[in-house]
Amino acid sequence: MSGVGFRLMALVLRVRDFLRPRMDLLKEAGIGTGFCVLDYGCGPGSYIEPLAQLVGVSGVIYALDIHPLAIKVVQNKAVRNGITNIKTIESNCNIGLPDNHVDVVLLYDIFHDLSRPDDVLRELYRVLKLSGTLSFSDHHMDDQDILTGITKKGLFKLSTKGKKTYSFSKV
């Protein structure tokens, strides 16, 4: 995606976030104080501020995106808002975190666009704690495609279906 395309997408997402606050989705993920959260495909950081409220100063937020402009926007947003417990990762698949490290992975509105979804799911499985949650939402996909896409390799199983998200756990 070009820089202009990214900026246009970021503008559209700001309008969306104003009309439908991101905290509504995050509440379904069960994120609490002190949690370690990975926002995979963070884009312009729509979830960063509400995540910071949920995890508190004792938690950690990892914001990962393939686009260098997304990483820069998230870093600037963190500085502007005094969020010091965020770490950015520029990558398309390799997360670079230790095994069993993350409490919750957010996989929101990106799965349909992944070029190697099975590789991404294996990497998310690796970094997610045994008791962790993969919180999923993708309005570009129907229910059956979501369930099949996430569970077909036997790494994850559906835990709960909320109003706005699906929660998957490790098998």
The residue type of 68 is P
**Residue labelled with tokens 């509440």:** 27
The gap from C-alpha 132 to its chain's centroid, in whole angstroms, comes to 13
Per-residue pLDDT tens over the stretch 122-142: 999 999 999 999 999 998 999
Does residue 147 carry a pLDDT above 90?
Answer: yes
* Element spanning 130, H or E: strand 128-137
Instruction: Count CB neighbours of 69 within 10 A.
Output: 17
Q: Residue 154: left if φ>0, alpha if ψ -120 to 50, beta else—which one?
A: left
Does residue 40 carry a pLDDT above 60?
Answer: yes
Cβ–Cβ under 8 Å, residues 69 and 3: yes
Interacting residues of 20 by C-beta distance below 8 A, sequence separation 6+: none
For residue 51, the enclosing domain spans 3-170
Q: What is the CATH classification number for the domain harbouring 61?
A: 3.40.50.150
Q: How far is CA 108 from CA 22, 38, 47, 84, in A?
A: 11, 11, 10, 23
Query: Is residue 11 very low, low, confident or very high in pLDDT (cuts 50, 70, 90)?
Result: low
Per-residue pLDDT tens over the stretch 64-104: 999 999 999 999 999 999 999 999 999 988 999 999 999 99
Q: Which residues pair with 107 in a beta bridge?
A: 136
Number of domains in the chain: 1
